[in-house]
Amino acid sequence: MAVDVLSTAEGRAKAAKSRTHAATWKAARDAGENIPLGTAAPPDHPARPARPELLSPRDVPKRKPGSPAGRIALLHAVAHIELNAVDLHWDIIARFADTPMPTGFYDDWVKAADDEAKHFNLMCDCLENMESFYGDLPAHHGMWRAATDTADDLHGRLAIVPMVLEARGLDVTPGMIAIFEKAGESEAVESLRTIYAEEVSHVAYGAKWFNFCCGRADSDPKEVFHALVRQYFKGGLKPPFNEEKRAEAGLPPDFYWPLAEEYPAYLR
């Protein structure tokens, strides 16, 4: 199921498969069936549509969020993040299938992959109602980098994807919601609120399984987190942080604040 999603290129089709497979998994679990995990080789890079054109972040044109074009660009960027997130959650399921994990680990990432597919669809709906569509603008090419860098390291994957990248989403989403509130664009406001509410659980899944892996290895989660972020995510973490939502997701301040000191002050 994971490789099927990862091998599907078109965005809406990928999202549809993600939702269908998640429903199949959940139905089996609810019925008390023991689903064999299986093995499958996920592709190094997931299949992606011909558009959007993927550019280096510095080549993606910056637009002011005060304009309708700027707001479309913002939603387009979120849609791109959500599509990457669909792949990231299925990838963690298939990539590390040889590491024994409790079934709840798979329940969580299947649920997260289902949420991301819903989020991608919400962003596409908003774009289409604003006379645009996913693929209309260029997008960042570097988003799969975190997956490539941590392809052999489940601990590293958990530290970087949910606990750094998705946690960053919690920091920036309230500001995005405010932009669309100010513009009176209620569909985008509602959609971003749904995303914001559901992303907390993805960060929480990350923290939960990261702590589980550390406990199994008898290592200190905070120390391991700092070492892995320094290894895979150069440049430190960018404040300000959403301390309230991070706490709700099980990310304590002593995990991220020491890494913020490594973020260059002139970029803040």
Q: What are phi and psi of 193, to 5 degrees?
A: -65, -40
Cα(266)–Cα(151) distance, integer angstroms: 32
Give the range of 28-36, 63-71, 74-82, 174-182 binding Fe ion by CB under 5 A: 74-82
Q: Which residues of 237-265 are buried (b: 16+ CB within 10 A; e: fewer)?
A: beeebbbebbeebbbeeebbeebeeeeee
Cβ-based nearer residue to Fe ion, 38 or 144:
144
Q: Check residue 19 for interaction with Fe ion (CB under 5 A).
A: no
Site mask for Fe ion (CB under 5 A), range 123-162, x = bound: ----------------------------------------
Site for Fe ion in 93-122 (CB under 5 A): 116, 119
**Binder of Fe ion out of 95, 202, 208, 246 (CB under 5 A):** 202
Shortest distance (Å) from residue 78 CB to Fe ion: 8
Site string for Fe ion, 164-193 (x = CB under 5 A): --x---------------------------
Closest approach, Cβ 139 to Fe ion, in A, equals: 15
- How many residues sit in the footprint of Fe ion (CB under 5 A)? 7
Place of tokens 């920091």: 171
Torsions phi, psi of 133, nearest 5?
Answer: -165, 160
- Beta carbons within 10 angstroms of residue 55's beta carbon: 15
By CB under 5 A, residue 246 contacts Fe ion: no
CA 48 to chain CA centroid, nearest Å: 16
In the bound state with Fe ion, the residue whose beta carbon lies nearer, of 185 and 199, is: 199
Helix, strand, coil percent values for the chain (each to nearest 5):
65, 0, 30
Residues of the shown chain interacting with Fe ion in the complex, contacts defined by CB under 5 A: 82, 85, 116, 119, 166, 199, 202
